[in-house]
Amino acid sequence: MTNPTTAILQTDGTSIGPSFAALLERIRRLNDVGKAAGLMGWDRDVNMPAAASADRAQQMATLAQIGHELLVDERVGDWLGEADLEAQRWGAAVDAVETVAEVADEMTSPAIVADLTDRTTVAALLREFRRQRDDAIKLPGEFVARRARLSGAAYRAWVDARAASDWPAFQPHLQHTVDLAREQAGLYGYTTEPYDALLDRYERGMTSAAVERLFDAATAALLPLREAIVREGRPVSAAVLHQPYSVEQQQAFARHIAPLVGYDFGRGHLGTTVHPFASSFSQSDCRITTRWNPAFISPSLFGTLHECGHAIYEQHTSPVLARTPLARGTSSGIHESQSRMIENIVGRSRGFWRAHFGALQSHFPSQLANTTADEFWRAVNHVGPSFIRVEADELTYNLHIVLRFGLERALIGGTLAVADARDAWNAATEDVLDMTPPDDAHGILQDVHWSSSMFGYFPTYALGNLYAAQLYEAATAADPAVAEGLNDGNVLPLLAWLHTNVHRYGKVYPPAELIVRATGHPLDEGAFVRYADAKFGDVYGLG
C-alpha cells in the first residue's frame, strides 16, 4: 500500500511553509556538495595519481569548508526553528487525511508499515538535519583543525610504526588521538561516560553499558562453541583458498556473482583499491571496490560480497528521500548488518555454494577440479586462531571486537593509561583468544582506527553481526521462501524482505526503532548465537 502523499520531500517544500522550503533548498545544496566531496574521495582512492594527493586534499578541504559554512549559517538555525512550527501546523492539517490509513496499517502489522508517511519523513528530516548542524556547531574550528593536524600526523606515524612493529614510536601519537577523542566527547556532551558520546555518532542511541551486556552475553555463548570446534570438530581445511588465482578470473567471477546477490551494476561500478569500500553518490550510483590477491581467493570473493551488501542497502533507500541526509543507511551497525548478511549469512551458506560452486569451478577449473561444493563451503567457514582481526573467521571476528571495545572504552574513560595500552592489549588477547601476539604489528598496531581517532566505531562491526542474525531470523519467520530460497542459492525472497523492512527507510528510523519495527524486539545476542551454533555445528559435525 503506497501512501499517495509520500513525495513531499521531492516538492519545493512550500506546502509546509516558507522556512521549510528554504531549509529544504539548503539541505539539497549541502547534499550535492557532500556528494562532490565524496566523489573526490572515491576518485582519490581509485583513479588519482598519488602525486596529486596534496592538491586533492586542498580541494576536499575547500568543499568541507563550504559545506560547514552552509550548515552553520545563522539563517539555517532560524529556518529550523520556524520549520518545526510549520511542520507541526501542517502535520495537524494532514492528520485528518492520513489517520484512517495509518491506523489500518499499524493494526495489520506493527513491524511492517505500509510505506513512509510524509509526517514521518518530514519529522525525521528535521531531526537528522538538526543533529548534523548541532554536531557541526559543537566542534569549534580550532578543534577541527587541530584534530586534522594531530590525527594526520598520528596516521602517518602509525603507518611507519606498524611496518616496523614499533609500539614506542606510536605511543605518543595514541596519547594525542585519545586526548582528542576525550575532548570531542566533552564537546558533544554525555550523561554517563565519555565513550557514549563517541559511540552515539556511529550508532545513535546505543550506550556503552548496552554494548557491554550484549558482548558479555554473546561471548559467554561463543567461547564454548569455539572450544567445542577445536575439541570435537571434524578436520576442516582452508588450503583450497590459498592457491594461485588469476586476478582477471577473480574479476570475472566478482562481476558474475555480484548481480546474483542483488547488486545492480546498472546503478553501480566496481573499482580496485587496497582497502575495499562502498560509496554512493546518489541512489543511482552506488559503487564498490575490491582488492585482488593473486594467491588467495577469499579477499576478492568475500570482500566483493561484503561491499555488495553495503551498496544494495543504499541502492534501495526510498527515492522520496533523495538529496537529503535520510537517503543513506541509518547507522554503522545496521549498515554492517547488510554487508555481513550478504558476505556471511548468504555468501558462506551451504546453499549458496551448492548453487554457485559450478560457476566458480568454471572460472578456476584447475584449482578447483578436486574440490566439491560442500568441501568449499566448509573451507570458507574454517575456524582457527588469528591475531589479525581482518583475517579472522566469522566466529572469532567478534572476539576481536570484544577485545577492542573493552580497551578503547577504558582508554576514553581514563581507567587505562596509554602507557599501559600495549600490555593491556596483549593480556586481553591472552584472555579472550588464548594467544600472545608475536609482535605489536600483530597486536595493538594492526588497526588504522585509533590512529585516526575513530574511537567508538569498532563495536558496530560486531553489532552488525548481531543485527544481521536477528534480521535474518525475522525474515525466515515471516516468509518460508527466504530459507528455502537460500537453500537453492536464491536470495530474492531475502532481499525482498530486507528492501521492505530495512533498506527503503534509509535514516528515517534510528537503529533501535528500526530493529524493533523489523523484528518485533530490541537487539539481543540470541539470534546470532542460534545461527552460529547451527551453522558451525553443521560445518564441524558437532553433537
Enzyme catalytic residues? 307
Q: Which is nearer to its own copies, 68 or 242 (CB)?
A: 68
Q: Determine which helix (DSSP H) or strand (DSSP E) holds 278, and give its type and residue range.
A: strand 278-282
Distance set, CA 370 to CA 13, 197, 350, 366, 419 (Å): 63, 53, 18, 8, 52
Among 7, 48, 144, 238, binds its own copies (CB under 8 A): 48
- CA–centroid distance for 492 within its chain: 22
Contact 295, 53 (CB under 8 A): no
Q: How far, in Å, CA of 426 to CA of 409, rounded?
A: 16
Measured CA distances, 243 to 24, 148, 274, 296, 366 (Å): 54, 42, 20, 6, 10
Helix, strand, coil % over all residues of the chain, rounded to 5: 70, 5, 25
Among 17, 194, 262, 268, binds its own copies (CB under 8 A): 268
SS3 49: coil
Q: How far is CA 319 from the centre of its chain?
A: 21
Q: Closest separation between CB of residue 134 and its own copies, Å? A: 24
The nearest distance, CB 190 to its own copies, in angstroms, is 36
Give the contact letters, 306-345, x = binds to its own copies (CB under 8 A), - = no: ----------------xx----------------------
Looking at the Cβ atoms of 69 and 295, the one nearer to its own copies is 69
Which one, 56 or 499, has the nearer CB to its own copies? 56
Cα–Cα distance, 219 to 84 (Å, whole number)? 44
Segment interacting with its own copies, rule: CB under 8 A, options 110-118, 260-268, 350-358, 426-434: 260-268
Of the residues 155, 188, 281, 296, which one makes contact with its own copies according to CB under 8 A:
281
Q: How many CB atoms lie within 10 A of CB 144?
A: 14
Name which of residues 13 to 42 contact its own copies (CB under 8 A): 28-29, 32-33, 35-37, 39-40
At its nearest, how many Å lie between its own copies and the CB of residue 494?
Answer: 24
User: Which window, 46-54, 411-419, 420-428, 491-499, contacts its own copies (CB under 8 A)?
Assistant: 46-54
Work out the angle at residue 216's Cα, subtended by the Cα atoms of residues 214 and 220, and round it to the nearest 5 degrees. 120
The span from the first CA to the last CA of the chain, in angstroms, equals 47
Q: How far is the CB of 52 from its own copies (least distance, A)?
A: 4
Question: Shortest approach of its own copies to residue 448 CB, angstroms?
Answer: 25
51 in contact with its own copies (CB under 8 A): yes
Give the one residue of 11, 14, 58, 109 binding its own copies; rule: CB under 8 A.
58
State which residue, 55 or 538, has the beta carbon closest to its own copies.
Answer: 55
- x/- mask, its own copies, residues 64-83, rule CB under 8 A, reads -xx-----------------
The one-letter amino acid code at 122 reads: V
Neighbours of 523 (CB within 10 A): 23
Binding flag, residue 483, its own copies (CB under 8 A): no
Closest CB to its own copies among residues 35, 133: 35
Q: Is 59 in the site for its own copies (CB under 8 A)?
A: yes
State whether the Cα torsion 113-118-123-124 is positive or negative. positive
Query: Judged by CB under 8 A, which of 267, 328, 354, 530 binds its own copies?
Result: 267
What is 165-228 written as a DSSP string?
A: T-HHHHHHHHHHHHHHHHHHHHHH--SS-HHHHHHHHHSTT--HHHHHHHHHHHHHHHHHHHHH
354 binds its own copies (CB under 8 A): no
Dihedral angle sign, alpha carbons of residues 512, 513, 519, 520:
positive
Distance in Å, CB of 49 to its own copies, minimum: 5
Q: How far is the CB of 84 from its own copies (least distance, A)?
A: 25
Let me know: does 497 contact 470? Beta carbons within 8 Å.
Answer: no
Amino acid at 160: D
- Residue 288 has φ and ψ, to the nearest 5°, of -125, 155
* CB of residue 247 to its own copies, shortest distance in Å: 14
Angle at 161 between CA 158 and CA 165, to 5 degrees: 135
Shortest gap between Cβ of 292 and its own copies (angstroms)? 18
Q: Smaller CB distance to its own copies: residue 188 or 281?
A: 281
- Contact by Cβ (8 Å): 239, 433: no
Nearer to its own copies among residue 1 and residue 50 (C-beta): 50
Name the DSSP letter for residue 12.
-
Q: Does 47 bind its own copies (CB under 8 A)?
A: yes
Identity of the residue, 68 or 354, whose beta carbon is nearer to its own copies in the bound complex: 68
Place of cell 570438530: 233
**With binding defined as CB under 8 A, does residue 56 bind its own copies?**
yes
- List alpha helices for 109-166, DSSP H: 118-138, 141-164
Cα(375)–Cα(361) distance, rounded to whole angstroms?
Answer: 13
> How many amino acids of this chain bind its own copies (CB under 8 A)?
39
Task: Please say which residue, 327 or 463, places its beta carbon nearer to its own copies.
Answer: 327
108 forms part of the interface with its own copies (CB under 8 A): no
Binding window for its own copies (CB under 8 A); candidates: 142-150, 172-180, 278-286, 417-425: 278-286
| Residue selected from 104, 152, 265, 484 as contacting its own copies according to rule CB under 8 A | 265
Q: Find the shortest distance in angstroms from Cβ 263 to its own copies.
A: 12
> By the criterion CB under 8 A, which residues form the site for its own copies?
28-29, 32-33, 35-37, 39-40, 43, 47-52, 54-56, 58-59, 62-63, 65-66, 265-269, 271, 281-285, 287, 322-323
